[in-house]
Structure 1
Amino acid sequence: MKIRVGFGYDVHQLAEGEEFWLGGIQLTHSKGCVAHSDGDVLIHAICDALLGASNLRDIGFHFPDTSSDFKNIDSKILLKKTVKLITDKGFSIGNIDATIALQQPKIKPLIPEMQKVLSDVMEIDLEDLAIKATTTEKLGFVGTEDGIAAYATVLIQKL
């Protein structure tokens, strides 16, 4: 069995009046992500990690923000397509460990719902997807609530 790891990172600006999608669910908040798609940084970080681990470049290569095909697209669709890309190459997901950096709103109670939605999209066991949340103690663009960041590490395997 061959195993590989991948790392993904995404960041989006937060602004008043934008929808806020995170982990495949819509949050109620005064701000949301400025983006070409729905701006779901967690899904984008996971996609990049999966694509990188399988040596399939990055999310921008497969789903460019210059294409009208992806304007306002639900990022769960991008995740589903990403999983198909890696499975077509013979890989399966071992596990995913992700961290969201966000000052507000507090999302700890929403993490189980995010895990359920994303594990269903990727068709993996709930136990194989860890999602954590942190703040930056009011430092940087996350701390000033100007943006959000997400990090993901994945393990994939090829039989």
Structure 2
Amino acid sequence: MTTGYRIGIGHDTHRLAEGGPLRLGGLDIEHDRHAVGHSDADVLLHAITDAVLGAAALGDIGELFPDTDEANHGRDSAEMLQLAYGKVVEAGYSLVNLDCIVFVQQPKLSSHKTAIRQRIAAILKIDPAAVGVKAKTGEGVDSVGREEAIMAQCVALLIQTKE
């Protein structure tokens, strides 16, 4: 068997609205704003889902879980990620690591990053050491900085496990 590596990138942005909590990385974080979306609007899990699907050339989150399907209204993004990653494994790949960035002005995420990493690892059944999570602000200059939006990006590295 030849060993191959595949890299995927995921990105997601959601508008923020009054009222909390903020769903991020599969956790509810206390905040006075929440992300608005068709599902539970977890930008980090959506970016991860797109990254792993893209690395395996299996499409994207919108193809697998279209917002035109009422079954996806309010859907738990952790469930969506598990289903998507199951397709990646079926296609013959395994996750090596994730490197993610969350762009949000508030709340500050430094005290939440370990719990977020552990939750993502639990969802994917991988070692938390394989999950990197960083946080950046918008420095007040864009929709993130003005606290109008939250954004996440993620890079996923897969290794081929079967031909």
- Establish whether TM, by shorter chain, passes 0.5: yes
Aligned to 1:10: 12
Q: For the residues of structure 2 that align with 1:139 and 1:123, how far apart are their CA atoms?
A: 38
2:77 to 55, 71, 75: 75
Give yes or no for contact 1:15–1:146 (8 Å, CA) kept in 2.
Answer: yes
Structure that is richer in helix per residue: 1
Contiguous gaps of at least 5 residues in structure 1:
none
Q: Give the CA deviation at 1:139.
A: 1.3
1:49 to 33, 48, 51: 51
Alignment map for 1:128-139 (pairs within 5 Å)? 128-139=130-141
Q: Give the CA deviation at 1:36.
A: 0.5
Aligned to 1:154: 156
2:115 to 86, 93, 113: 113
Moved >4 Å (runs of 4+): none
**Which residue identity is paired with 2:117?**
Q
Aligned to 1:108, the other structure's residue is in SS state: coil
Q: Give the CA deviation at 1:133.
A: 0.4
Aligned to 2:112, the other structure's residue is in SS state: helix
Q: Deviations over 1:51-94 (max 9, x none)?
A: 10000110000001111111111110011101101001010001
Q: Give the CA deviation at 1:19.
A: 4.2
Give yes or no for contact 2:22–2:33 (8 Å, CA) kept in 1.
Answer: yes
Alignment map for 1:81-120 (pairs within 5 Å)? 81-120=83-122
Pairs aligned (count): 159
Q: For the residues of structure 2 that align with 1:34 and 1:126, how far apart are their CA atoms?
A: 28
| Percent of pairs with identical residues | 37
**Which residue identity is paired with 1:3?**
Y
Aligned to 2:26: 24
Q: For the residues of structure 1 that align with 2:111 and 2:133, how far apart are their CA atoms?
A: 12
Q: For the residues of structure 1 that align with 2:67 and 2:35, how far apart are their CA atoms?
A: 14
Contiguous gaps of at least 5 residues in structure 2:
none
Q: Give the CA deviation at 1:17.
A: 2.5
Q: For the residues of structure 1 that align with 2:160 and 2:22, how far apart are their CA atoms?
A: 35
The CA RMSD over aligned residues, in Å, is: 0.8
Q: For the residues of structure 2 that align with 1:38 and 1:139, how far apart are their CA atoms?
A: 27
Aligned to 1:117, the other structure's residue is in SS state: helix
